[in-house]
Structure 1
């Protein structure tokens, strides 16, 4: 069964024919109810399919709802053009976020060419005015091989329409001109484009990779679009317009359930004046509100002139048409209930996020079954399922989603439109610190050409203490290496001390390091020789429960996650104790690998200890493990200062009696009074945060015990052991799909900036960290923030609070009951709040 069958099932209902026959003419409204889950998106998709000449506008209250509908429509409609026109993140005309700016200009360009059939947007975006529609008509460029254009004039044109000239293109809205090579990366391009000129003629047109700067495949046409808010005033005479000016007169407006158009228009209008006034107080040159936004009443009058289908809640408002659909039965991760449900005679479609989920769910549905499951498993993601009840002649249809079956939240992940140039981290740039094998630490000053006798030689220039320079011929470049440390050089870390050419300090440091390595080698050879000959019973192979746990993971595994899972399972199913280092950045999915390993150990009848550096992290891991293992008979306990002495005593007794399967705790787990009945796996999170004594205690525990170490920043010794082959290592280098880069700004303390940044995050439904690392004044800072942003729910957290109070505040923040957390550096160790996308660090220099 395919996804078009979902539209067919809705269109066969008599009530859908009634909607088609009573579509509202311009200026009138049809109220429709009875659309649970993603049935609202299915109705929009069905209307678009049955009305091939109509233009549909869906006005959701905010970006999250619009993105959910966009994702649903992309799943339901393969060929119908659907687009989102998002609002600007700020209230000025310049949009700093390239993803938002790019999506706006691309949508307007496609809308101007009549390509879009369904447009999703928000009241705020409908209110905004922009010069882009007129600028697109005047300034859009099409470049083809064989075109005749003067490179200098082309460069001047790009600067007028908002592009930045750079030596090398590394990001969108940039261009570079080097001789006859012209690189440009515009909105609307899947990849940047390189033009080769012979005189004024474009002789070659190819894409190129930002990371390597190498040309790739040829391209027939390159379209260059202006940059939103950056077009010079003398470049175009276009007036500012609202996007509503581009809608055809017979456009059909759809308002999803819960949308409040007029209140949102008025709220945007009021907030715009407030934020623009703050910008003026900061000395910024901003246009008047009337120039940047239409008045709410005028926009409401324009929208009221279109025919409107308003989706309503029948319990709150009278509907003209009511669909007989209902929400699907809750499964709550009960696979036995799901097996019974799909065999009740109603055709069932189960939508899975990816092929891997389809395969795992298929195994679960057909396990121990005599007949194959009648459910149709289809790759596709929708926000929620629904049921078309059986009728006299119809068998009905049940639509389920895998995230509802496994009771997990669906997060809409949108593909990033543009890539940024991330050059090899080992590539040297002028100013980098380097280490020369014979002379020590210096500063790399670049490549120069020098005369040697009658010829020239290219050399790498390294500057040492006192300004002395060493010329390293490129054929001896292997003696140079970029300086690396446990905490690599960055803007916050102090720079390394330079060595002096011909000095003795570098030779002495090298000798000391060599002696320490020899001592460590003897110790490690003894330890790891004993581990090599040690053995323990193998863990059990994957069970149905293991497959069910992995199927319930919220996201699609990255390739590195799949490899890490395979590596860890292979280690655990052998008879040699595991000692694996799992290296991956924050958010790359290390904790999920740990959950799977722990569950595998528990199914083998063994206990698991998860060692974390802070109480906050222990509490977070306890929630993660508890939620992931909630449907299985696994006992998870926590041991940290959040627990009372009585609770700790009960946990210690439970571990000794094997009543606790998984214990998560800080270094308290390493105390002599803590003993395990059958410890199978030790999971160490952020090993570098533990002291020497803690690691000595770990050594005693782990001779015949599996050890899985998770870290984003491996300490040099740990990394050396892995690279030398004494410890196994898995690298998780693949970021989660479509992860956005982190943007960092250094600004003076300013209430207007604070209010704008916090308000922007709250408007998108997000949360904010405010780090203030002085307990004496943290309450005063929180009170000040309450005056600056009165609508934000603010809480304070620091390490001197009572454990229960701190635990309650952190739990409220993670669960979304607190908008702004003012805290000390107690949040630094891996605290995971996916909804928090903005952090202010007060006095970052301290």
Structure 2
């Protein structure tokens, strides 16, 4: 056998273009060989390569796949699309602008590398190149930096002033520290000044606000693709008045820009800011080679059709006049002229007739390699292919998995065909090493097959089929449900709060109070008759948010009366009874030995691996929680809370698989017939490779079919039954029910809920919900039910942009058009069957070109099913419907929902309805229409405000808590508790309930008279606060005070101290004393010292009845130094202060504590 010498030379060697006149054409580039050829050329070519793809999707794929084949020092730049429609009312996301500006800045400086962009993106006109150069500046350590001048410069460059920097284009100033998140930067920076000199620049984590590393300089790009300098605004105003008719004062965009504000959709007025615009090619180095993909001319023609159509549709609005398309976009002919100035390569995946400058590459199509689990030999195709290629001299194979986890799975599969590939770090390592069969991590989908030299790169997708995989977050974190609730909303002036000793009052803000020798901050609380109390920030543990009924009608207590004590006493008695009832259920669940499921490792592993998506971290955690519950002796009662489409059903399917493998039956309870059918088909698909019998019982089955299903269920012939509330009826009997899965419990009535409750003690129950109702949430937080959160969005899922707007035919037309033009579908929800047909007729008038259908719950079941099926298959693109869609089938192409009279819906329902859209990777939109903003009730206004503010993904849990705050905490255990909760607020109610439950669990009576989580009081007689000039933002100070009050050990205080220094600079004495006071509180708490009180001459320690100090040492101290130490009664020690300075006081206290331990 001849030894084949393996070297790190690419197996594809494309010809290098020599001049502008040298036009090349590459053919037969199949699969990922195009990335391999381009990356090889990039290393040899004298100048950068610009890849022009026909669409955004192919540009994004190349941006992912090219780094795998390229050397580490090859720059790969992406110029992304705005992802808005022509003449859109929306501006691109800050992260998109950030990447675009960074690419434009780097282009003129690029001597080699690869630039990727889609054709429609390159047809947009851009700001002149000098705009970027003039508005970019470098800031270095040691340079002079005038705060005032640079603040103006940042505002002119489009940066927004905020309290805390979180996103690109933001800055914040706190004294001599400036935080800024420059465009094009992976992290924000913290710039520290001394006088007017930069003394330090550190990158920091926007999540934790903690510094990451020191750097010497930072580059500040402008924050927008247009300037907001005074000169640019003047130019914009003059250009507007010269170009457009009508009164400019009636145009909101004109007014906003005149005031220096960044208006939404302003990008389509770019020519008004400059004398002339330029193109992407104005930024390109002259020696750039342009690589042209197929179908570009067709795509350009379609793009221009869309632009002209939208221009004609929108140009008649005099308050928003439009620039003609020719001023904003290049024609394809103009683009051709720009390209002619560069060397060109056209590429094709099909073979071409070879002439001068044309070459076909030695790539081939793969034979089918898909693993067929239903076949008797699932791996036969792959095994034969591997045998053929490795039998050829020098034949080599590289398998590619997308993640470490997937690599392990792939390795297990390959062992089935006696193949053990060698793990290689990357493509270059594989080329350099003499590896016949390798395995690496790469984001490839299509693979490469070369005939000369014989080489195959095989991707996961070729073996397992197309999979949508989860984009890995840079930082994965587990979300604590209690933390979410604690940090949900900041305290605003006027909000009601509960002081455990004084009752419900209203928060009026933080106030600094000075006495002769000290200064401290206090919360000002207002009570009935305008009486006020001042609570030191060190006592924040006594305060909780009032989350009861409508906050504006919170029952303020009268100070000095016994009203609050009576309310507390009554509530405590009631809470004790509630806790006893809760514990009765809890103890029955704990005592009742449920079925202990065993986990069939091999079968379960195969089932889990067959999931066509990659599990998100939260999903994996939820599945593991369920496995632990099911394998324990007690019955499971777990709530899985996750937004619509976040993968709760897969958790349920895996639980069902375990139950069935243990010969138990599974019931899946859903609120609607349509959902029952979708679940039925989804379960059938998921269990297709397993001998599991699945059935659905609903109105869509005939009477005879239902009778047969009922009989087979009782005989144990059906493993999984899916149905609506009929499943809970008395005539449904199971042979051996082991698991009940409840989807959206809040949609069921009282009778059904009681039936579910009766099953809890002896059947494992798994409840799935996007927005838990208050009762469900209360139960979970009270520790009676277990809770798993799924807050990580699935792959390619974007948050839903949400707008609250008065009813407007113009807005409705625009919203439907913008969705239909990108091939999407729209729900128009009008929840009144009587006027639904009339609403549909109005819509036909507003947008006659839409293909409209109607759906509501009073239709015949089969008619409704047909309409939904036709809508799913895109026969219609506008569905006028009622809330029948709330728990409906998934339609990935429906990405806009318009909800008429949104003020009439509850928060949980609005969230569920909004979750109907955004099931794909497209940006989704929700329009909440109201009759008149001023006519809204306060409650409705709060609901709409809450849902429009929380448009992030995974906020269902937060919305449920908002719902508690808005409408009162509702029912607990099915009994109304709203009276007590209205009186004392949900937070305190829950805290008292937790105390009652834990006390009764421990076999003692609840101690309500003692403040919960009581801590020692410390009054050092010195100034202890965060000065306003140190932390200027009131909310930030309040949050920091709260965090300090919640610190449980010295380590946490030290971490907070480091954070303060990092974010705000060196600690001033008052802040230093505040932290020392907090540390003393922890020590005193541990030793049983209730209170430390320090005056100018004397100090006092007030002890508990059983302090944890050494009493012998205390007595000795008093006896040996009677002039300095004196006992006052049984529980107090007085001591003389030798020096009244703050430092001396602290030293005296620490020394005394040391002597008493």
Shorter-chain TM-score bucket reads: 0.7 to 0.9
* Equivalent residue, structure 2, for 1:771: 829
Provide closer, same or farther for how the CA distance between residues 410 and 735 of structure 1 changes in structure 2, counting only shifts above 3 A. closer
For residues 62-111 of structure 1, the C-alpha deviation after alignment (integer angstroms, 9 at most, x for no partner) is 22232222222244435232232223214359834223222211221222
Runs of 5+ consecutive residues of structure 1 not aligned to the other structure: none
Conservation of the 8 A alpha-carbon contact between 2:557 and 2:563: no
Deviation at 1:227, TM superposition (A): 2.5
Conservation of the 8 A alpha-carbon contact between 2:600 and 2:658: yes
For residues 335-386 of structure 1, the C-alpha deviation after alignment (integer angstroms, 9 at most, x for no partner) is 875533443313544322211122223234435x667478644222223235
2:804 partner SS: coil
Deviation at 1:189, TM superposition (A): 1.8
Deviation at 1:687, TM superposition (A): 2.5
Provide closer, same or farther for how the CA distance between residues 377 and 431 of structure 1 changes in structure 2, counting only shifts above 3 A. farther
In structure 2, distance between residues paired with 1:53 and 1:831: 54
Conservation of the 8 A alpha-carbon contact between 1:441 and 1:499: yes
Provide closer, same or farther for how the CA distance between residues 57 and 738 of structure 1 changes in structure 2, counting only shifts above 3 A. same
Provide closer, same or farther for how the CA distance between residues 714 and 469 of structure 1 changes in structure 2, counting only shifts above 3 A. farther
TM-score (norm 1): 0.85
2:788 partner SS: strand
* Equivalent residue, structure 2, for 1:127: 123
Match 2:277 to one of 228, 237, 240:
240
In structure 2, distance between residues paired with 1:691 and 1:75: 55
In structure 2, distance between residues paired with 1:69 and 1:7: 26
Deviation at 1:192, TM superposition (A): 1.8
1:106 aligns with 2:87: no
Moved more, 755-764 or 139-148: 755-764
In structure 2, distance between residues paired with 1:6 and 1:247: 37
Conservation of the 8 A alpha-carbon contact between 2:16 and 2:41: no
1:397 partner SS: strand
In structure 2, distance between residues paired with 1:811 and 1:454: 77
* Equivalent residue, structure 1, for 2:30: 35
* Equivalent residue, structure 2, for 1:425: 488
* Equivalent residue, structure 2, for 1:481: 544
1:329 aligns with 2:368: yes
Provide closer, same or farther for how the CA distance between residues 406 and 165 of structure 1 changes in structure 2, counting only shifts above 3 A. same
1:343 partner SS: helix
Provide closer, same or farther for how the CA distance between residues 815 and 270 of structure 1 changes in structure 2, counting only shifts above 3 A. closer
* Equivalent residue, structure 2, for 1:399: 458
In structure 2, distance between residues paired with 1:789 and 1:670: 45
* Equivalent residue, structure 2, for 1:500: 556
1:366 aligns with 2:361: no
* Equivalent residue, structure 2, for 1:202: 198
Conservation of the 8 A alpha-carbon contact between 2:468 and 2:795: no
* Equivalent residue, structure 2, for 1:161: 157
Moved more, 559-568 or 100-109: 559-568
Conservation of the 8 A alpha-carbon contact between 2:665 and 2:737: yes
1:295 aligns with 2:295: no
For residues 581-600 of structure 1, the C-alpha deviation after alignment (integer angstroms, 9 at most, x for no partner) is 33334444322221211112
In structure 2, distance between residues paired with 1:454 and 1:25: 81
Conservation of the 8 A alpha-carbon contact between 1:465 and 1:498: no
In structure 1, distance between residues paired with 2:770 and 2:336: 51
For residues 649-680 of structure 1, the C-alpha deviation after alignment (integer angstroms, 9 at most, x for no partner) is 34323322333222222222111111222212
Deviation at 1:706, TM superposition (A): 1.5
Match 2:673 to one of 600, 607, 615:
615
In structure 2, distance between residues paired with 1:578 and 1:276: 60
2:63 partner SS: helix
* Equivalent residue, structure 1, for 2:78: 84
In structure 2, distance between residues paired with 1:786 and 1:260: 36
* Equivalent residue, structure 2, for 1:435: 498
Deviation at 1:617, TM superposition (A): 3.5
For residues 608-656 of structure 1, the C-alpha deviation after alignment (integer angstroms, 9 at most, x for no partner) is 1122233343344334333333333333333334444444334323322
In structure 2, distance between residues paired with 1:141 and 1:543: 59
TM-score (norm 2): 0.64
Equivalences for 1:140-539 in 2 at 5 Å? 140-232=136-228, 234=231, 239-257=276-294, 259-265=295-301, 267-268=303-304, 271=307, 274-275=310-311, 278=314, 281=317, 283-284=319-320, 286-303=322-339, 306-312=342-348, 314=350, 321=360, 323-331=362-370, 333-334=372-373, 337=377, 339-344=379-384, 345=387, 346=389, 347-366=396-415, 372=420, 376-388=438-450, 394-397=453-456, 399-401=458-460, 403-410=461-468, 413=471, 424-425=487-488, 427-438=490-501, 440-450=503-513, 456-463=519-526, 469-484=532-547, 495=551, 497-502=553-558, 513-539=571-597
2:172 partner SS: strand
2:120 partner SS: helix
Moved more, 682-691 or 765-774: 765-774
In structure 1, distance between residues paired with 2:297 and 2:546: 57
Conservation of the 8 A alpha-carbon contact between 1:92 and 1:276: no
Provide closer, same or farther for how the CA distance between residues 797 and 188 of structure 1 changes in structure 2, counting only shifts above 3 A. same
1:728 aligns with 2:786: yes
In structure 1, distance between residues paired with 2:128 and 2:804: 31
Conservation of the 8 A alpha-carbon contact between 2:47 and 2:111: no
* Equivalent residue, structure 1, for 2:865: 807
Deviation at 1:148, TM superposition (A): 0.7
In structure 2, distance between residues paired with 1:201 and 1:238: 37
For residues 148-194 of structure 1, the C-alpha deviation after alignment (integer angstroms, 9 at most, x for no partner) is 12111111111111122234434321222333222222211222222
In structure 1, distance between residues paired with 2:794 and 2:418: 39
For residues 194-221 of structure 1, the C-alpha deviation after alignment (integer angstroms, 9 at most, x for no partner) is 2122221111212334345444432322
* Equivalent residue, structure 2, for 1:677: 735
Deviation at 1:139, TM superposition (A): 0.9
Conservation of the 8 A alpha-carbon contact between 2:137 and 2:219: yes
Provide closer, same or farther for how the CA distance between residues 610 and 315 of structure 1 changes in structure 2, counting only shifts above 3 A. farther
For residues 493-514 of structure 1, the C-alpha deviation after alignment (integer angstroms, 9 at most, x for no partner) is x646311222888767656654
Conservation of the 8 A alpha-carbon contact between 1:799 and 1:826: yes
Runs of 5+ consecutive residues of structure 2 not aligned to the other structure: 233-272, 390-395, 423-436, 478-483, 905-1157
In structure 1, distance between residues paired with 2:6 and 2:777: 52
Provide closer, same or farther for how the CA distance between residues 717 and 636 of structure 1 changes in structure 2, counting only shifts above 3 A. same
Conservation of the 8 A alpha-carbon contact between 1:95 and 1:229: no
Q: Which runs of 4+ in 1 moved over 6 A?
A: 5-9, 21-24, 315-320, 414-417, 503-509
In structure 2, distance between residues paired with 1:62 and 1:783: 37
Provide closer, same or farther for how the CA distance between residues 221 and 783 of structure 1 changes in structure 2, counting only shifts above 3 A. farther
Equivalences for 1:609-648 in 2 at 5 Å? 609-648=667-706
Equivalences for 1:554-593 in 2 at 5 Å? 554-593=612-651
In structure 2, distance between residues paired with 1:7 and 1:484: 69
1:20 partner SS: coil
Conservation of the 8 A alpha-carbon contact between 1:812 and 1:818: yes
1:103 partner SS: helix
Conservation of the 8 A alpha-carbon contact between 1:415 and 1:737: no
Deviation at 1:427, TM superposition (A): 4.2
- Of Structure 1 and Structure 2, the greater helix share is in 2
Deviation at 1:27, TM superposition (A): 7.8
In structure 2, distance between residues paired with 1:317 and 1:814: 44
For residues 26-79 of structure 1, the C-alpha deviation after alignment (integer angstroms, 9 at most, x for no partner) is 48462623514x343333334334x34343222223222322222222444352
Deviation at 1:25, TM superposition (A): 5.5
1:599 aligns with 2:657: yes
Deviation at 1:579, TM superposition (A): 2.3
* Equivalent residue, structure 1, for 2:1059: none
